[in-house]
Amino acid sequence: MIILRKLIELVALCFILLTLTNVQGQIIKVTLLGTGTPLPVMERFGPSILIEAGEQKFLFDAGRGSLQRLMQINVKYREIQGVFFTHLHSDHVVGFPDLWLTGWLTGQRETPLLVWGPEGTKRMVSNLEKAFEFDIKFRISDDKASPNGVVIKAKDIKEGVVYEKDGVKITAFEVDHAPVKPAFGYRIDYAGRSVVLSGDTRRSENLIRYSKGVDLLIHEVASPDALARLKRPVERDKAIIAHHTTPEQAAEIFSLVKPKMAVYSHIVPSTATEQDIIPLTRKNYTGAVELGEDLMVIEVGEKIEIRRPVAKTNQNTLK
Ligand SMILES: [Zn+2]
Ligand SMILES: [Zn+2]
């Protein structure tokens, strides 16, 4: 009898533990695939962020090298349900044809890709389909690639909830990247966790409104000091700074939003160092803030855990 009771107690304990780990195990996993800008440097690839929530995987922007970065972390293109574009500046979309076509050909994708973005997204996608029509035809007839796997279902979106399925909710909100309009930031909600991605923006009241109390805020940043070191025409630098957010401005935003964790990505210019950005942020912000790097992983769960890549990000991963 005692043995039986002990056994029942043990089973009950296992059940409670399993339920607890199940709830606590629900996280949003964020991987910064590319933290750079148009500058073609090896250390910071083009802007692209992988979000994994439950079984679902999405990319936000597809800058230069997004497919290579996915391969480095062993995530297959065929596992990506869709791509959300923040705006259509080339640094955010230039990796897309490679992701889409090479991913399809080498990764045996057999299902359509969903794409969301501001007005102009559908048109860009249909123009890409025309531009690569020659290749697509031969890959299907000659290489026997799946005709379904190259299909893109693109949608031009407006501010509001743009996706909701199996507990994952994605909301687009307008940011201020004028004259580039519309430009979106995105908020991802899953299992009581939340992540906001700023996209490209100067200080935006709308972003502050949509981000209030978020667990993780990933914000862009531009360093006037690092731009000056590139010795380009001053007027050009001024225009760049006016389209983006300086570390001091970001500190104000973080103070208002009060995220559990703030991480910089889309570092303008890509050569800016931690010294250019973090001390200026610290002047007016005492909360947790980190400078993002390619392949950095941020797990948003009960706690927020950050893992930086051990090896150099430009290493060859082919075994
Ligand atoms: Zn950009
Ligand atoms: Zn931009």
Angle between helix 274-282 and helix 247-257 axes, rounded to 10 deg:
50
Question: Is 91 known to be catalytic?
Answer: yes
Which stretches of the chain are assigned E, i.e. beta strand? Answer: 28-34, 48-53, 56-60, 82-84, 113-117, 152-156, 160-165, 168-174, 184-190, 193-197, 216-222, 261-268, 289-291, 296-300, 304-307
Ordered per-residue pLDDT tens for the chain, 319 residues: 566 577 667 666 655 555 444 545 699 999 999 999 999 999 999 999 999 999 999 999 999 999 999 999 999 999 999 999 999 999 999 999 999 999 999 999 999 999 999 999 999 999 999 999 999 999 999 999 999 999 999 999 999 999 999 999 999 999 999 999 999 999 999 999 999 999 999 999 999 999 998 999 999 999 999 999 999 999 999 999 999 999 999 999 999 999 999 999 999 999 999 999 999 999 999 999 999 999 999 999 999 999 999 865 555 544 3
Distance 186 CA to ligand 1 centre (A): 15
This model's pTM is above 0.85: yes
Catalytic residue among 61, 91, 176, 189: 91
Q: Which ligand is nearest to the CA of 181?
A: 2
Distance 228 CA to ligand 2 centre (A): 19
